[in-house]
A and B are shown apart, each in its own frame.
Chain A
Amino acid sequence: MPYLFLGPWLLGAIGLTVAPMVVSLYLSFTDYDLFNEPKWVGLDNYARLFGDDPRYLHSVGVTLRYVAWSVPLKLVLALAVALLLNSLRGKGQAFFRSAFYAPSLLGASVGLALAWRAIFDTWVDTPDHALVTIVLLAAWQFGAPMVIFLAGLQQIPRDLLDAAAVDGAGWWRRLWSITLPMLSPVLFFNVVLETIHAFQAFTQAFVVSGGRGGPADSTLFYTLYLYERGFTEFRMGYASAMAWVLLVAIALITAVLFRTSRYWVFYGDGR
């Protein structure tokens, strides 16, 4: 009986997730152009990625720089605004919370990215600054993590902060010694989520760079390069290898974040 309800999901999980994963792992060891049979080439695709494709390594660098700038910037903004809104109450807080959240919905669209490209038209055309505009577009969407931070801030018992204030702790001291430790599980959650998403950013880079990762490959995101190899050159085996490297990289970075979390994430039960 349960499988009657699970049917659609199970079909999707097997047919659209597990089986395609296995197939794409297989394809990553082949030359495949969609029209001829896949030809087994062993580890060639992976060897070429790391040994013989400067543009690939360049796209890795661009993506790492994007992640390293956009995630902290977005989260610092989100935390600052959440702290600000936390000192408001009632309707004022609800209004600003909604208003600051709006860009998170609009910013993912092609329409807004086109506007962004026009506003920053002089930067978009220079290799040194093009990536900055995309980082700023990501940071502009700080609303979603801000809402999560704000919900976390509201869980912190007021007595604790009041008691610290009575004992003479100033604003910074309370932030550093009470608010941030109490908020660290939420912060951790946001860091993991935003990092995973940042690695997969595509639309904004595609639109802002005119679809090619330019100028001079300065915004050639990983996903953009994967799209180019897979869906404009139809080198499906090569693109599959790229997808698997991305998956492994994201899994590793998530694992590292979880490992470090024991040093800076505090849970209420004293762990």
Chain B
Amino acid sequence: MKRAAVFVLCLAALALVLYPIVWLVSASLTPVEDLVSNLRALFPGRVTTDGYARALEGAGGESFWTFLGNSTIVATGAVVGNVVSCSLAAYAFARLRFRLSGPLFAFALVTIMLPAHVTLIPQYVVFQQLGMVDTFVPLILPKLLATDAFFVFLMVQFMRGIPHELDDAAKIDGCGPVRNYWYVVLPLSRPAMVTTAIFTFIWTWNDFFSQLIYLSSTENYTIPMGLRLFIDQTSSSSYGPMFAMSVLSLVPIGLFFLAFQRFLVAGVATTGLKG
């Protein structure tokens, strides 16, 4: 009885929590006239896919596919960069002994909490002088250099749990650190790498601040930047394509969530990922 009551309460809370998402999907399929007269209703009657047709045409003279392609390049680069560079650093911290190991790892932990704003402006100045503003380099290069120290931490935690006997066995068989990393530790760290890859993808896909700062021409815009073109427009005539593009922008996240929810939730539960 009590459990049934809790269940019903959870369902009610879930309906409330999911309302904005369902509303967004509904609004993206509703003709603008109907939407304006009854803004907050769910599925108020007629259904249209006009919004999607106009969303695919894009905004600011570029098609949606341009934005999608750019977002995909940036997100893929970030995922590859984070997985490679963070696993390399994590291997050193977790499995190798060297003199500065302690202080350097402590420093890495501190950088997790550092607000990006204190490094932002000099980074921008350097990228600007190298002529790299309005390219994807400033968005991907930091990932190749493991500046998301959080993932270093996540992988260190995981790699420390791998039995050291394996290292010894590999050593006896003649493996140096490089082959030990590649053939022993990396395959066993797959769950941590998957978690890193998924979170990097989702955060990069959603990222707005650095893309706003570094991308200036429409042809280089990612999806969040494409959506930004709608921000200034307050007239309701752009509601259709705006909501349709919003839905399209969330589809990859939704799919990743459905496919990897166990990794995601477990990742948050064990490491306190900000999510």
Contact = CB atoms under 8 A, between A and B. Distances in A.
B114 A247 contact: yes
Question: B98, B147, B270: which has the most chain A beta carbons within 10 Å?
Answer: B147
B140 to A, nearest CB: 12
Contacts of B253: 105-106, 109
Interface in B33-50: 39-40
B231 A114 contact: yes
A109 B249 contact: yes
A105 B268 CA distance: 12
Contacts of A112: 20-21, 24, 246, 250
A143 interface: yes
Contact of A16 (B84, B92, B145): B145
A112 to B, nearest CB: 7
Interface stretch (B5-13, B56-64, B163-171, B187-195): B5-13
Question: B7, B202, B265: which has the most chain A beta carbons within 10 Å?
Answer: B265
A3 B96 CA distance: 10
B14 A199 contact: no
A68 B203 CA distance: 25
B275 A16 contact: no
B128 A34 contact: yes
Given A12-B145, A87-B6, A110-B249, A20 B17 contact: no
Contacts of A210: 231-232, 234
A119 B16 CA distance: 13
Contacts of A141: 275
Contacts of B246: 110-112, 114-115
A111 B250 contact: yes
Interface string B217-251: 00000011001101110100001001101110110
B18 A99 contact: yes
B107 interface: yes
B117 A226 contact: yes
Contact of B108 (A9, A106, A147): A9
A239 interface: yes
B1 interface: no
A231 to B, nearest CB: 6
B119 A21 contact: yes
Interface SS of B by simple majority = helix
B144 A8 contact: yes
Contact of A109 (B10, B40, B206, B273): B206
Contacts of B130: none
Given A102-B257, A116-B20, A5 B121 contact: no
Contacts, number: 265
Interface SS of A by simple majority = helix
Contacts of A17: 111, 114, 119, 147
A193 B274 contact: yes
A5 B120 contact: no
Contacts of B122: 19-21, 23-24, 27
Given A13-B107, A111-B250, A20 B274 contact: no
A8 B27 contact: no
A150 interface: yes
A134 interface: no
Nearest to A22: B122
B119 A16 contact: yes
13 contacts: A2-B97, A5-B89, A12-B142, A20-B123, A27-B121, A88-B3, A102-B18, A108-B203, A110-B208, A112-B250, A115-B23, A119-B20, A147-B268
Rank and list the top 3 A-B pairs by shortest CB-CB distance, nearest first. Answer: A12-B145, A144-B275, A111-B246
Given A105-B206, A111-B250, 19 more contacts: A1-B177, A12-B147, A20-B122, A20-B123, A24-B120, A34-B128, A99-B18, A105-B264, A108-B203, A109-B224, A110-B224, A112-B20, A115-B23, A144-B268, A144-B275, A148-B272, A193-B274, A239-B121, A247-B114
Interface of B: 2-3, 6-7, 9-10, 13-14, 17-18, 20-21, 23-24, 27, 39-40, 84-86, 88-89, 91-93, 96-98, 101, 104, 107-108, 111, 113-126, 128, 142, 144-147, 149, 152, 177-178, 181, 202-203, 205-206, 208-209, 212-213, 223-224, 227-228, 230-232, 234, 239, 242-243, 245-247, 249-250, 253-254, 257, 261, 264-265, 268-270, 272-275
